[in-house]
Structure 1
Amino acid sequence: MKLYWGPHTCAIGIHILLEEAGATFETEKIDVAGGGTRAEEFLRINPKGKVPTLLRDDGSVLTEFGAIGTWIARSYPEAGLIPDDAEAETRMVEILDYIEGTIHGQGFTRIFKPDYFEPQDALHGTLGLGRSKVEHQGREIVERAFALLDSQMAGAAYAVGETVSIADAALFYVERWAEPNKISLPSHVNDHFHRMLARSSVAKVRRLWGEG
């Protein structure tokens, strides 16, 4: 099994889940910023051209954070990465979808790639008029979302209770993007971030990624 990852990407969450599960796997670093996910060799593995990408032992490929995370959790049930309780599992999925779709997809993507959200001119392409506005909008989305999650997490060690789940790995990677972008984490979310940093799985992955 091989995980394809790239620096500063959400793939760190999947790497953490594989460590939490005790899985046997190898990794391959992709130069995402340098266009590695658009290289023909990588596109043959994942035509979507993005990480995380997981090549399983049977030769099949999994993409998308939620799908990969769910497969890891179901394949290694002893790790307890999906709550046993149906209500808690539902809440985990709710938080995971919110992180993926809103905090990452709508918020941080506006900060990282504002050109994607700028008006287009048929002759000249991106007009270049609203970059700062788009970035500001992204920050507002992220800060509002963190505040909402903060209120939901009061009194809980992790996203949906006292044990780590798929949602925590996702929440960690967006928390990790906050400080470099000068976004303050509210108290409960900040506590969660530092609780995750203290986990051996996270420390190991961060060392492998050259972060700690």
Structure 2
Amino acid sequence: MKLYMTPGSCSTAIHIILEELEEIFEAHIVNLPAGDQFKPDYLAINPKANIPALARPDGTVLTEVPAIAFWLGKARGRGKLWPKDIENETRALELMTFVAGSIHGHGFARFFAPGNFCPDSAFHQSVKAQGRALVEKTFSIVDKALEGRTWVAGDFSVADAVLFYVEFWADKVEIALPANLLRHYRAMLDRPAVSGVLREEGYRPEKLGQRVEM
């Protein structure tokens, strides 16, 4: 398989899942700031011009974090990273779509790329503030859902790797995590595959997870 990724992005979730499954794959870096996602050779792989993209053994390509995570969890490693009962399956899908669509798509997207929401730079700080408020609001919802549990859906699953990438972003930009999310984040950082991926992507995992909760 081939993973088209950008270090420190949402593709980190898929990188973690591949390592947790001990898959053999090639990592191809897509330099988003340089505009690699718009180059013809990448558009031929992923016409959506985003990351990640996963080229599977049969040559077909999957895009979108929740979809790639679902396929890897269900189809690879004998399904060991996918929940075994319908309730936990549903909760995993619920969490992954909420992370990608709301926490990332509405919250962090405004924080990281305010120009995509308002072309007038005079309003960019207010757009970023709105994004931060949305992240904090959505985090509080997930935090409540994690009450009394270590992992999102019973045992560790692909959903935990998906949740991790927005927790990681929060740590990087100094948005404090609520107590249950912080506990989940630190549990993820303790996993060898996670710390290994972070080092490969240029981060020092021992420096992460130090911030106190909200």
Tell me which of 128, 136, 142 is aligned to 2:135: 142
The runs of at least 4 consecutive aligned structure 1 residues that moved more than 6 Å come to: none
Q: Which amino acid aligns with 2:203?
A: E
Indicate if the aligned counterparts of 2:7 and 2:202 stay in contact, CA closer than 8 A. no
Number of residue pairs matched by the alignment: 204
Q: Provide the secondary structure at the position in 1 that maps to 2:4.
A: strand
Q: Provide the secondary structure at the position in 2 that maps to 1:103.
A: helix
Indicate if the aligned counterparts of 1:20 and 1:79 stay in contact, CA closer than 8 A. no
User: Which residue does the alignment assign to 1:133?
Assistant: 126
Q: Provide the secondary structure at the position in 2 that maps to 1:28.
A: strand
Deviations 1:23-73 (A, max 9, x none): 221111121121111122111111111111111121111111111111111
Indicate if the aligned counterparts of 1:54 and 1:62 stay in contact, CA closer than 8 A. yes
- Rounded to whole Å, the distance in 2 between the matches of 1:102 and 1:211 is 26
Indicate if the aligned counterparts of 2:53 and 2:63 stay in contact, CA closer than 8 A. yes
Identity fraction in percent: 40
Displacement of 1:8 after TM fit? 2.1
Q: Provide the secondary structure at the position in 2 that maps to 1:47.
A: coil
User: Which residue does the alignment assign to 2:71?
Assistant: 71
User: How do residues 100-111 of structure 1 correspond to structure 2 at under 5 angstroms?
Assistant: 100-111=100-111
Q: Provide the secondary structure at the position in 2 that maps to 1:130.
A: helix
Provide the TM-score with structure 1 as the length reference: 0.92
- Rounded to whole Å, the distance in 1 between the matches of 2:70 and 2:178 is 28
Q: Which amino acid aligns with 2:98?
A: Y
Q: Which amino acid aligns with 2:193?
A: S
Q: What residue ranges of structure 1 are gaps of 5+ in the alignment?
A: 119-125
The answer to whether the aligner puts 1:208 opposite 2:200 as a matched pair is yes
- Rounded to whole Å, the distance in 2 between the matches of 1:149 and 1:207 is 27
The answer to whether the aligner puts 1:192 opposite 2:169 as a matched pair is no
Indicate if the aligned counterparts of 2:107 and 2:132 stay in contact, CA closer than 8 A. yes
Deviations 1:151-209 (A, max 9, x none): 11111111122x21221111100001002222000111011111001111111211211
Provide the TM-score with structure 2 as the length reference: 0.91
Q: What residue ranges of structure 2 are gaps of 5+ in the alignment?
A: 205-214
Larger Rg: 1
Indicate if the aligned counterparts of 1:7 and 1:32 stay in contact, CA closer than 8 A. no
RMSD value over aligned CA atoms?
Answer: 1.3
